[in-house]
Amino acid sequence: MVKHKIPITREKFLQLTLPARLQLWAENRELEDYILTKAFTYKVTAAKLPIAHEKIKVAIIGSGPAGLGCANVLNQLGFKVTVFERDDRPGGLLMYGVPNIKLPKEILLAKVRGLEEAGVEFRLNAEVGTNTSWEEIKKHYAAIVICTGIAEPRSLELPGNKLAGIYYAKDFLISTTRSLLDNQLNAGTFISAEGKDVLIIGGGDTGTDCAALALAHEAHSILQVERQDCNMARISEEGFCKLVKGDVSLQYNTKVKSLLGDDKGNVSGVELCRLEWGQSKSGMPVAKEIEGTTQVLPIQLVLVSVGFTGPEAIVFEKFGVKRTPMGTIATLGGLFLAAEPCIFAAGDARRGSGMVEWAFEEGYDAALECAKYFTDNIK
Ligand X SMILES: Cc1cc2nc3c(=O)[nH]c(=O)nc-3n(C[C@H](O)[C@H](O)[C@H](O)COP(=O)(O)OP(=O)(O)OC[C@H]3O[C@@H](n4cnc5c(N)ncnc54)[C@H](O)[C@@H]3O)c2cc1C
CA 75 – CA 37 distance, rounded (Å): 20
269 vs 155: CA distance, rounded Å: 19
**Half-sphere exposure of 45 toward its Cβ, with a 13 Å CA cutoff?**
3
* Residue 173 binds ligand X, judged by CB under 6 A: yes
CB 310 within 8 A of CB 323: yes
198 lies in the site for ligand X, by CB under 6 A: no
Write the DSSP symbol of residue 53. P
Task: In whole angstroms, give the CA distance from residue 340 to residue 333.
Answer: 10
**Cα torsion at 15, 21, 23, 25 (round to 10°)?**
80
Looking at residues 254 to 293 of the shown chain, list those that interact with ligand X (rule: CB under 6 A): none
Determine how β-strand 254-261 pairs with β-strand 267-279: antiparallel
The region of 124-132, 216-224, 263-271, 289-297 touching ligand X under the rule CB under 6 A is: 124-132
Judged by CB under 6 A, does residue 356 bind ligand X?
yes
Stretch that binds ligand X, among 144-152, 254-262, 265-273, 274-282 (CB under 6 A): 144-152
Span from 201-209, 262-270, 283-291, 367-375 in contact with ligand X (CB under 6 A): 201-209
Q: Does 205 bind ligand X (CB under 6 A)?
A: yes
Segment contacting ligand X by CB under 6 A, of 81-89, 177-185, 215-223, 327-335: 81-89
Which three-class secondary structure state does DSSP give residue 291?
coil
Contact window for ligand X (CB under 6 A) among 91-99, 225-233, 251-259, 331-339: 91-99
359 binds ligand X (CB under 6 A): yes
Listing DSSP states for 35-54 in one string gives HHHTTT-----GGGSPPPPT
Report whether 141 contacts 57 (CB < 8 A). yes
Pairing between β-strand 301-304 and β-strand 166-168 as defined by DSSP bridges: parallel
x-or-dash string of contact with ligand X, 287-326, rule CB under 6 A: ---------------------------x------------
- The yes or no reply on residue 65 touching ligand X (CB under 6 A) is yes
When binding is defined by CB under 6 A, the residue of 18, 26, 87, 342 that contacts ligand X is 87
Residues that bind ligand X (CB under 6 A): 31, 61-67, 84-87, 92-93, 97-98, 102, 127-129, 147-149, 170, 173, 205-206, 209, 314, 347-349, 354-357, 359
